[in-house]
């Protein structure tokens, strides 16, 4: 039982990261029907900004987190303006290929400037180095921080999407872009805003991972990016609560496969989930089956 | 008039070409090729090796060279790419006319240069390729390939014996990097020796390069009954594994191999997590042997930093080749190969060694112990 609970703790920490990244995927897909493959690299960028803030500038965790989120936002919006906006009316496959190109550019650009090797965050001290022992469970301060920050950001996101004018505009654009434009909504600004929010969340995930695992490298975004994509598909791509649930499910499944089966099957099973979902219920857990109009 | 100009042109061209031939004869220097990973993903291995090599060549030349002839090193960067390593080996042999080639540092790239070396009868030698089949395979020994480090199976065996005899541990968990031959080879040999010596393997877990989350497998083994963990893999993943294990309260000794040898291990795991860590290595800076002490002093004077194992191996490699060349009866690749084959009790920074019939080295392994992130002791262990 103790072991089971510990695995749940591990799964939720990992799942929070996937959920944060998956949100960006799903929001961007919801609004322009693009799988933004560069999203995992925005997450990596956030981790490097966090690294820079905490080593060179010697900032504390929270200011570093905010700076990483702001910088990731700028990167995300820049990607959208430079790479995707000129292709707004191009075929979807052209935009998808561009996304892969942008992803490779960011990965290897970072490798060029920062070198390929792993980098480590400074050692944690004081409150951040705390460990909580509850009935045999060990929970580190980093795990607590990851879960708390993820929940705060998700509540904030729900608030923005449901209660603000921009959120309303986002929902309108994702429902029907042309109609939204006719109603006087500035579609370009709304799309940029979506990228901004998604990238800020990815940047936050990046620095949290840096704190949690203490190891970052230029290709760190590839695998979590793919897993988050699976999480988004699992929950129903384009649906925000779906991405949150999907992230946690994928995280917990991964940990349980490693913990109770064999760690070598971990990735295989996660990808098998993607295939199963696509066969059985392509619209995802929370998706409605919409009949294609002919 | 036109004819006159073309005549001048012909003369000029001829002069250009002929002057190329009339350079000073290469008789008074001995050319050695350096074919290393100076850029690319394993650049740190190549760069460190070359630092050691260059220090050794400088020392040899300062002492008068080999039998009165200075060594001239021709250095190329193979960009951590086996194909590039092969073409550079060809270039070094056919254009630069080197008598022997040092490098590359990694198993794959080094193996790629062996066919070229064998074809042109020029020995290639590496300081750090630990793959089991580097110098010998099912077709027999590769005549022109040499290495001066122990191989992976030897490390796995040595660490299993160390766990059994020196640490008196009987129940081991293996957490192996299954994405590299290095990890798989070490795990297999450790397992074989450990079980043969009366120990048991409680669990075998696996990870792949680039993984960062090991909490799940560590939580799984936490409930088991074991007294030692063996991690065959590189420091990039070993660091996070150790850190997460200690965070979960797993405090048994952790064993590893030369993949642990990096200052980054301390940063990844955190000094406070690095207690009771033992890993096998080629060399220890704690060694009090005068050869080692001198090497460390000279290295620090030239590069202003502490030498690592790759520096030491590079240094030994250059000295080893120079020793072979000095004993060769004439300056041909074939004669140097014969001399290298007959190397016995060569005394280097990484220990005293001989070359066996498979072109491997017979030498003692160093086991280094870490406490609080610091190397606190080292002992030489031979089978």
pLDDT tens profile B186-223: 999 999 999 999 999 999 999 988 888 899 999 999 88
pLDDT at B27: 62
Tokens 């406070």 correspond to B272
Taking the C-alpha atoms of residue A221 and residue A223, their distance in angstroms, rounded to an integer, is 6
Interface with chain B: mutation pick from A213, A217, A227, highest number of B CBs within 10 Å? A213
Domain tally, chain B: 2
Burial letters A63-74, b for 16+ CB under 10 A, else e: ebbbbbbbbbbb
Q: How confident is the model at residue B133 (pLDDT cuts 50, 70, 90)?
A: confident
Does pLDDT of B25 surpass 70?
no
User: Are B163 and B272 in a shared domain?
Assistant: yes
Taking the C-alpha atoms of residue B37 and residue B103, their distance in angstroms, rounded to an integer, is 9
Q: CA dihedral defined by B159, B165, B169, B171, rounded to 10 degrees?
A: 70
| Residues of chain A contacting B, Cβ within 8 Å | 2-3, 6-7, 10-11, 13-14, 116-118, 120, 123, 131, 138, 140, 209, 213-215, 217, 219-220, 223, 254-260, 262-264, 266
Residue B242 belongs to some domain of the structure: yes
| pLDDT tens, residue by residue, A210-242 | 999 888 989 899 999 999 999 999 998 888 889
Residue B5 belongs to some domain of the structure: no
Mean pLDDT of all residues in B127-156 = 87
Residue B326 belongs to some domain of the structure: yes
Domain containing A44 equals 16-221
Interchain CB distance below 8 Å, A10 and B205: no
Search chain A and give the residue with CA nearest B238.
A215
User: Are B161 and B144 in a shared domain?
Assistant: no
Does pLDDT of B16 surpass 70?
no
Residue A138 belongs to what H/E stretch?
Answer: strand A137-140
pLDDT at B283: 84
For CA atoms A194, A227, A132, A49, the dihedral sign is negative
Domain tally, chain A: 1
Taking the C-alpha atoms of residue A104 and residue A285, their distance in angstroms, rounded to an integer, is 31
User: Are B233 and B128 in a shared domain?
Assistant: no
pLDDT at B17: 56
Q: How confident is the model at residue A132 (pLDDT cuts 50, 70, 90)?
A: confident
Least confident of B25-34, B105-114, B174-183, B284-293: B25-34
Taking the C-alpha atoms of residue B183 and residue A166, their distance in angstroms, rounded to an integer, is 52
Please, are residues B344 and B328 in contact by the beta-carbon 8 Å criterion?
no
Strand ranges (E), chain B:
29-36, 70-77, 100-102, 124-126, 136-137, 140-141, 145-147, 171-177, 200-207, 228-230, 254-256, 277-281, 346-348, 351-355, 361-362, 365-371, 374-381
Domain containing B51 equals 27-150+288-364
pLDDT at B23: 44
Residue A52, Cβ neighbours under 10 Å: how many? 17
Q: With left for phi above 0 and alpha for psi between -120 and 50, is residue A137 left, alpha or beta?
A: beta
Residues of B in contact with A217 (CB under 8 A): 210, 236
| pLDDT tens, residue by residue, A255-283 | 999 988 888 888 899 999 999 998 988 88
User: Are B191 and B146 in a shared domain?
Assistant: no
What is residue A232's DSSP assignment? H
* Separation in Å, CA of A215 to nearest CA in chain B: 6
pLDDT at B383: 58
Least confident of B283-287, B321-325, B355-359: B283-287
State pTM to two decimals.
0.81
Does pLDDT of B24 surpass 50?
no
Bridge partners of B229?
B173, B254
Q: How confident is the model at residue B182 (pLDDT cuts 50, 70, 90)?
A: confident
Of B232, B251, B281, which one is at a domain's C-terminal end?
Answer: B281
Q: How confident is the model at residue B5 (pLDDT cuts 50, 70, 90)?
A: low
User: Are B141 and B166 in a shared domain?
Assistant: no
Please, are residues B234 and A18 in contact by the beta-carbon 8 Å criterion?
no
Separation of first and last alpha carbons in chain A: 53
| pLDDT tens, residue by residue, B320-348 | 999 999 999 888 999 999 999 999 889 88
Q: How confident is the model at residue B56 (pLDDT cuts 50, 70, 90)?
A: very high
Residue A188 belongs to some domain of the structure: yes
């Amino acid at each position: 039982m103790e072991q089971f609970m510990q695995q749940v703790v591990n799964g939720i920490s990992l799942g929070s990261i996937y959920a944060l990244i998956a949100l960006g995927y799903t929001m961007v897909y919801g609004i322009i029907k693009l799988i933004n493959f560069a999203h995992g690299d925005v997450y990596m960028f956030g981790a490097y900004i966090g690294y820079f803030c905490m080593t060179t500038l010697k900032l504390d965790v929270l200011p570093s987190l905010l700076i990483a989120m702001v910088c990731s936002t700028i990167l995300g919006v820049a990607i959208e303006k430079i790479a995707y906006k000129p292709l707004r009316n191009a075929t979807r496959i052209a935009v998808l290929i561009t996304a892969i190109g942008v992803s490779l550019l960011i990965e290897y650009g970072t490798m060029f400037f920062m070198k390929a090797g792993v980098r480590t965050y400074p050692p944690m001290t004081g409150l951040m180095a705390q460990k909580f022992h509850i009935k045999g469970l060990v929970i580190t301060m980093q795990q607590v921080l990851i879960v708390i920050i993820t929940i705060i950001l998700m509540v904030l996101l729900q608030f923005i999407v449901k209660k603000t004018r921009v959120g309303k505009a986002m929902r309108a654009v994702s429902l029907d872009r042309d109609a939204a434009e006719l109603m006087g909504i500035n579609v370009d600004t709304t799309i940029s805003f979506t990228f901004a929010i998604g990238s800020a969340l990815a940047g936050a995930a990046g620095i949290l991972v840096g704190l949690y695992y203490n190891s970052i490298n230029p290709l760190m975004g590839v695998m979590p990016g793919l897993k988050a994509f699976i999480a988004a598909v699992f929950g129903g791509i384009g649906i925000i609560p779906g991405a949150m649930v999907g992230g946690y499910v994928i995280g917990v499944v991964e940990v349980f496969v490693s913990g109770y089966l064999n760690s070598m099957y971990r990735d295989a099973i996660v990808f098998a989930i993607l295939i199963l979902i696509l066969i059985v219920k392509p619209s995802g857990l929370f998706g409605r089956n919409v009949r294609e109009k002919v | 008039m036109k004819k006159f100009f073309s005549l001048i042109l012909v003369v000029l061209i001829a002069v250009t070409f002929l002057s190329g031939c009339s350079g000073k004869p290469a008789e008074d220097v001995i050319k050695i090729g350096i074919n290393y990973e100076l850029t690319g993903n394993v650049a740190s291995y190549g760069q460190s090796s070359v630092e050691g090599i260059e220090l050794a060549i400088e020392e040899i030349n300062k002492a008068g060279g080999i039998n009165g002839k200075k060594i001239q090193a021709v250095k190329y960067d193979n960009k951590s790419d086996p194909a590039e390593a092969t073409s550079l080996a060809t270039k070094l042999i056919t254009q630069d006319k080197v008598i022997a080639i040092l490098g590359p540092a990694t198993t794959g790239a080094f193996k790629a240069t062996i066919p070229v070396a064998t074809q042109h009868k020029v020995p290639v030698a590496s300081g750090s390729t630990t793959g089991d089949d580097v110098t010998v395979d099912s077709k027999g020994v590769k005549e022109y390939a040499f290495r001066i480090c122990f191989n992976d199976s030897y490390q796995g065996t040595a660490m299993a014996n160390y766990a059994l005899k020196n640490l008196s541990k009987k129940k081991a968990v293996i957490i192996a990097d299954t994405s590299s031959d290095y990890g798989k080879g070490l795990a297999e040999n450790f397992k074989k020796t450990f079980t043969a010596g009366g120990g048991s393997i409680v669990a075998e877990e696996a990870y792949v390069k680039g993984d960062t989350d090991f909490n799940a497998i560590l939580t799984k083994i936490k409930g088991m009954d074991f007294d030692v963990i063996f991690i065959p893999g590189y420091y990039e993943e070993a660091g996070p594994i150790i850190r997460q294990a200690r965070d979960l309260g797993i405090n048994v000794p952790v064993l590893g191999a030369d993949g642990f040898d990096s200052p980054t291990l301390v940063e990844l795991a955190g000094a406070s997590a690095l207690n009771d860590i033992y890993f096998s290595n080629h060399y220890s800076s704690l060694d009090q042997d005068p050869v080692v002490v001198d090497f460390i002093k000279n290295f620090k004077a030239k590069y202003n930093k502490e030498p690592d194992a790759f520096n030491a191996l590079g240094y030994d490699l250059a000295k080893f080749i120079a020793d072979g060349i000095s004993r060769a009866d004439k300056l041909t690749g074939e004669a140097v190969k014969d001399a290298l084959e007959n190397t016995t009790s060569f005394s280097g920074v990484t220990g005293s060694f001989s070359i066996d019939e498979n072109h491997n080295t017979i030498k003692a392994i160093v086991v280094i112990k870490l406490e609080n992130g610091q190397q606190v002791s080292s002992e030489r262990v031979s089978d």
